[in-house]
Chains A and B, each alone.
Chain A
Amino acid sequence: MTAGVRITPSLVARLVVLAGAIVFFALAPLFMSNFRQSELVLVGIYFIAIIGLNIVTGYSGQISLGHGAFMGIGAYTTAILVTKYDVGQYWTIPLAGLIAGIVGFLFGFPALRLTGVYLALATFGLAVAFISLAQSTRFEGYTGGGGGLALGVPTTPYYLTWSIALGMFVAAWLLLRGRLGRRLRAVRDAPVAAVSSGINLALVKAIAFGLAALYAGVAGSLLVIRTGFVNYLTFPVLLSILLLTGAALGGFGSLGGVLFGALFIQYAPGLSATLPHVPKESAPSVMYGVILLIVLFLMPGGAAELVRRLLGLLKRLTGPRYSRRTGERVVS
């Protein structure tokens, strides 16, 4: 069976947008201050994390409120390897992703037997538990307890982050177009049929979860490299919440919306202000919540819905299509 790609106007449009985005991000640092670049690094980090979240929530339909915890696992992996074992920080990135991914897979296997509600709660619990564990004096030897671990000088790994982001974006795109993606969608849309056609539900769900955790782990690793520091406050419950809302705003099931979600998290007057990377202020989070609600009311499908509508418009503008098989007009 061929994995051919149909050339449609919408595909072309998306590739054009992608190319434009690549050009923008490639050239941006030439025109930007270091501060802005650092902000964009954060956007890239969120971007990677949200791609992962999208896989689990958008494509296989499971709500995860614990994504911050997996970012944390990746971050601490990197931090521990760098501070205790003197590994070069950039080499730790894939390892961080791998370990987070394995933990995610192992967590996912039992946890995903739970239905939606239970899973959301379990992942919420994971986010909360992670903070307790990171803070705990029992593990101080590894985690530095309340004080955390310091890597050294903060950096602005702009090109590294965005190259990884691009690479992982393409990887996700390919994966989701292929067998895994079809299986995930089957699991999401018609679980009974999926099982009848031989798909091992638990395995597929766990793989999706593990994959998502892997992405989060990589993101977390990059985060700690950027900030040069990590402790139990770096990944509060609010971060997991932010990631989920970012993914939702982008519109689940659409990789294109992910970028929107990442940008939203960073720049919406808001909750980003209460994260440890930036000074605290309570009012902005109210703003964030309100904006979130407004978007929810106007566009329950998120940015992806907007994009889909635009693409629909594009289809109409490029003329009707006729089915090769029956010769009739195709109305989509």
Chain B
Amino acid sequence: MTEFWEQIVAGLASGGIYATLALALVLIHRATGVINFAQGEMGMFSTYIAWSLLYTYGVPYWGTFAITLVISFFGGVLVYLALIRPLSRGGDIAIVIATIALLVILNGGAGWIWSPEVRSFESPFPIDRIEIGGVGISWQDLGTILVSIACVIVVFCFFRFTRVGLMMRASAQRPGTSRLLGIRVTLMLAIGWGLAAMLSAVSGMMAAPILTLDPNFMLIVLTYAFAAAVLGGIDSPVGAVAGAYILGVGISLLGTYWDYVTGAPELELPIALAVLLLILLFRPAGLFGRAVVRRV
């Protein structure tokens, strides 16, 4: 039985990593109607920057964390202003291609600047484990869970209780009308992208100690984050976060208790996606999404 709970905790930890990235995806989609395929790579790039700060410049961990978040924020703003906004006239496919191009550039760029060999990335949390009720939990898992929950709470409070948050929600829903109210919509959307970039950076920095750092390490995280966002309903932040935790726990349990998968962890992703597809058949808007009444 303790193994069950340990797997749940491990699942929540990976779920937390997906949740942070999924939240970023939903944020971007709600604000600008775009699926940012480069979201994972942006997080990856931020994590590499953090690596440099940590190992090349010797900045202590939480200082690195903070600085990376700030740099990521401006990176996100830059991407929005320089890439996304000018291309929004080109239509949906143009923007998809643009984010894909960005994915490619960041992926290659990271390999070019830092060289593609795998590196380790330290974790801010102690290695040992603690016991709660007889269940052993690593500080790593616990720390990851707490950080991701903290992110989620901060983001929610920001949107619900601050003036800027309200303006951003309005800008996302009806940009034209928001302008008529004097809201600087472009600025709001840019801030949205900056926030999403920060979330991606957190996701990357939490994932790196576990997955080790190389230019491709966020691609799987991205796929799971997508799955979580879609599972929860692509426009629902609550749904995406819930979906991510459900996904994380589900996969963890799957890997432990289903023999078929136990020896073959590479099957986790296809199975998760297959289940996702199945769920989408019956609930096309995701578990928590509002059923978009599509007439056709």
B37 partner residues in chain A, CB cutoff 8 A: 124
A63 to nearest B CB, angstroms? 6
Nearest B residue to A134, CB-CB: B266
Q: Any chain A CB within 8 A of the CB of B83?
A: yes
B226 partner residues in chain A, CB cutoff 8 A: 121, 124-125
Q: How far is the CA of A110 from the CA of B111 in the complex (A)?
A: 38
A177 partner residues in chain B, CB cutoff 8 A: none
Q: Any chain A CB within 8 A of the CB of B287?
A: no
A300 in contact with B87 (CB, 8 Å): yes
Given contacts A118-B230, A248-B93, contact A111 B295 (CB under 8 A): no
With beta carbons under 8 angstroms apart, the residue of A113, A128, A290 that contacts B105 is A290
A282 in contact with B111 (CB, 8 Å): yes
B104 partner residues in chain A, CB cutoff 8 A: 238, 241, 271, 285-286, 288-289, 292
Q: Any chain A CB within 8 A of the CB of B281?
A: yes
B105 in contact with A129 (CB, 8 Å): no
Q: How far is the CA of A63 from the CA of B97 in the complex (A)?
A: 10
B269 in contact with A129 (CB, 8 Å): yes
Q: Any chain A CB within 8 A of the CB of B183?
A: no
A284 partner residues in chain B, CB cutoff 8 A: 108
B97 partner residues in chain A, CB cutoff 8 A: 244-245, 248, 292, 296
Q: How far is the CA of A113 from the CA of B29 in the complex (A)?
A: 20
Given contacts A121-B226, A133-B267, A201-B296, contact A283 B112 (CB under 8 A): yes
With beta carbons under 8 angstroms apart, the residue of A113, A120, A132, A297 that contacts B86 is A297
B108 in contact with A293 (CB, 8 Å): no
B296 in contact with A129 (CB, 8 Å): no
Q: How far is the CA of A110 from the CA of B273 in the complex (A)?
A: 13
Q: Is the interface of A mostly helix, strand, loop or mixed?
A: helix
B277 in contact with A117 (CB, 8 Å): no
A296 in contact with B270 (CB, 8 Å): no
Interface residues of B in 252-289 (CB under 8 A from A): 260, 263-264, 266-267, 269-270, 273-274, 276-277, 280-281, 284
With beta carbons under 8 angstroms apart, the residue of A132, A133, A252, A297 that contacts B93 is A252
B296 in contact with A132 (CB, 8 Å): no
Q: Any chain A CB within 8 A of the CB of B91?
A: yes
Kindly supply a per-residue 1/0 record for chain B positions 217-259, scoring 1 wherever the CB is within 8 Å of any chain A CB and 0 otherwise.
0011001001100100010000000000000000000000000
A195 in contact with B86 (CB, 8 Å): no
Interface residues of A in 187-215 (CB under 8 A from B): 191-192, 194-195, 201
Q: Any chain B CB within 8 A of the CB of A115?
A: yes
Given contacts A282-B112, A289-B104, A289-B105, contact A132 B269 (CB under 8 A): yes
Q: Any chain A CB within 8 A of the CB of B109?
A: yes
Kindly supply a per-residue 1/0 record for chain A positions 250-278, scoring 1 wherever the CB is within 8 Å of any chain B CB and 0 otherwise.
00100000000000000000010010000
Q: Any chain A CB within 8 A of the CB of B94?
A: yes
A128 partner residues in chain B, CB cutoff 8 A: 219-220, 223, 269, 273
Q: Any chain A CB within 8 A of the CB of B67?
A: no
Q: How far is the CA of A248 from the CA of B87 in the complex (A)?
A: 14
B223 in contact with A300 (CB, 8 Å): no
With beta carbons under 8 angstroms apart, the residue of B83, B89, B112, B295 that contacts A286 is B112
- Can you offer 16 A-B residue contacts whose CB atoms are under 8 A? A110-B280, A113-B280, A115-B292, A116-B92, A117-B234, A118-B230, A122-B230, A129-B270, A241-B100, A245-B101, A248-B97, A282-B108, A282-B215, A283-B112, A285-B111, A288-B104
**Shortest 5 CB-CB contacts between residues of A and residues of B:** A285-B108, A289-B105, A282-B111, A300-B90, A129-B270
Query: Residues on B close to A: CB < 8 A?
Result: 29, 35, 37, 83, 86-87, 89-94, 96-98, 100-105, 107-109, 111-112, 116, 215, 219-220, 223, 226-227, 230, 234, 260, 263-264, 266-267, 269-270, 273-274, 276-277, 280-281, 284, 292, 294-296
Contacts A122-B276, A248-B93, A282-B111 aside, 20 further interface pairs with beta carbons under 8 A come to: A57-B93, A63-B92, A63-B93, A114-B280, A116-B92, A124-B37, A126-B273, A128-B269, A136-B264, A194-B296, A237-B219, A283-B108, A286-B104, A286-B105, A292-B104, A293-B105, A297-B86, A297-B87, A300-B87, A300-B89
